[in-house]
């Protein structure tokens, strides 16, 4: 699953990051119009541009199985203080996340 996530984050404008041992993030540059809209809507800065972050977290459960959680958010740097994390709840977003997890070999719990 991890290899699939890393491979999916290999296009120009995408950066794979690993902030801790159980977390992988794909930071994706946005098109110019979406970047401008995010800066204007969320009082962002031009010094560090907004990016889409797709995050995969994997943790081993007490029963020995692994649980993967996939989420995405818009990261909007601010002129002062921490960047804003804007959660996306667009129609179809959860279905897209579930499809990505399935494509990487995961099984969706609760379906």
Every domain of the chain and the residues it spans: 1-104
Structure tokens at 29: 């540059």
Strand ranges inside the chain, DSSP E? 14-20, 23-29, 51-60, 66-76, 84-87
Arithmetic mean of pLDDT, 17-23: 96
Arithmetic mean of pLDDT, 66-76: 89
CATH of 1-104, one of 2.40.50, 1.10.3470, 3.30.310, 3.90.320: 3.30.310
Arithmetic mean of pLDDT, 55-72: 89
pTM surpassing 0.85? no
């Amino acid at each position: 699953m991890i290899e699939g996530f890393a491979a999916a984050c290999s296009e120009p404008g995408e950066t794979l990051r690993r902030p801790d041992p159980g977390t992988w993030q794909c930071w994706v540059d946005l098109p110019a119009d979406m970047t401008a809209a995010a800066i204007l809507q969320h009082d962002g800065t031009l010094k560090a541009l907004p990016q889409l972050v797709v995050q995969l977290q994997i943790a081993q459960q007490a029963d020995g199985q692994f649980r993967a959680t996939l989420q995405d958010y818009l990261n909007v740097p601010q002129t002062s203080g921490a960047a804003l994390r804007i959660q996306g709840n667009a129609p179809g977003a959860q279905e897209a996340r579930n499809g990505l997890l399935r494509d990487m070999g995961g099984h969706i719990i609760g379906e």
